[in-house]
Chain A
Amino acid sequence: MGANAGRPNDPEMQRNILKDALIQLVEIQTPGTIVPLPYEYIAKV
């Protein structure tokens, strides 16, 4: 929630998430497929 495309001010994480999402556009063969990505962001609250 609040940071779908990665940690704020972390261009590398954001770029990789965007790339991985686009790669899955080509690779996914079934509607509704969910692919977990290996990124973790723990927000300071």
Chain B
Amino acid sequence: MSLTVVKGLQSEIYVPITPPPVWAEVTKPLKEMKVALATAAGVHLKSDKRFNLAGDFTFRIIPGDCDSHDLMVSHGGYDNGDVNKDINCMFPIDRLRELKAEGFIKEVAETHIGFMGGGGNQDKFKNETGPQIAKILKEEGVDAVVLTAG
């Protein structure tokens, strides 16, 4: 089978252009890593400000020692049915603590991040939100981040 390739085709709708990945070499074993969670699934503390479901490029800090029952989701872009039953199916903070307890990782980060994907201002996400999140995690000495998304 041969594929026909037409050069110069353009989408009629605007789509985000994904930049090439920045390859970060792993330099230590998992059992020596401090690990954070970052999620585009709209997770935040119940006491914190909800996301604007029409599009929101802000993020929320989620303390590493929070009670998972104090977390909730505001995100209009996916079925929240499962995550409303158990936040860990999108934000596995209790599981991360268990991995620390069994010595699989060294530490659960002090700070985790929730934001709302599925739209919003892509330039803001790329140039402001993303770098701000990375700075926070880097300053806390985080070695690895697990990202989930709705």
Chain A positions near chain B (C-beta within 8 angstroms): 1-11, 14-15, 17-19, 21-23, 25-26, 31-32, 43, 45
The 5 closest A-B CB pairs, nearest first, are A8-B86, A31-B21, A4-B148, A3-B89, A8-B85
Question: In the bound complex, what is the Cα–Cα distance between A32 and B18 (angstroms)?
Answer: 11
Contact check, B30 vs A23: say whether CB atoms are below 8 A apart: yes
Question: In the bound complex, what is the Cα–Cα distance between A2 and B81 (angstroms)?
Answer: 8
Contact check, A2 vs B98: say whether CB atoms are below 8 A apart: no
Residue in A5, A10, A15, A43 whose beta carbon sits within 8 Å of that of B91 in the complex: A5
Contact check, B89 vs A22: say whether CB atoms are below 8 A apart: no
Besides the contacts A2-B79, A25-B30, what 19 more A-B pairs have beta carbons closer than 8 Å?
A2-B78, A2-B80, A2-B90, A3-B89, A3-B90, A4-B148, A5-B88, A5-B91, A10-B89, A11-B94, A14-B95, A15-B98, A18-B92, A18-B146, A22-B30, A22-B144, A22-B146, A26-B30, A31-B21
- With a cutoff of 8 Å between Cβ atoms, the chain A residues found around residue B148 in the complex are 4-5
Question: In the bound complex, what is the Cα–Cα distance between A25 and B30 (angstroms)?
Answer: 9
Knowing A25-B26, A26-B29, say if A18 contacts B95 (CB, 8 Å).
Answer: yes
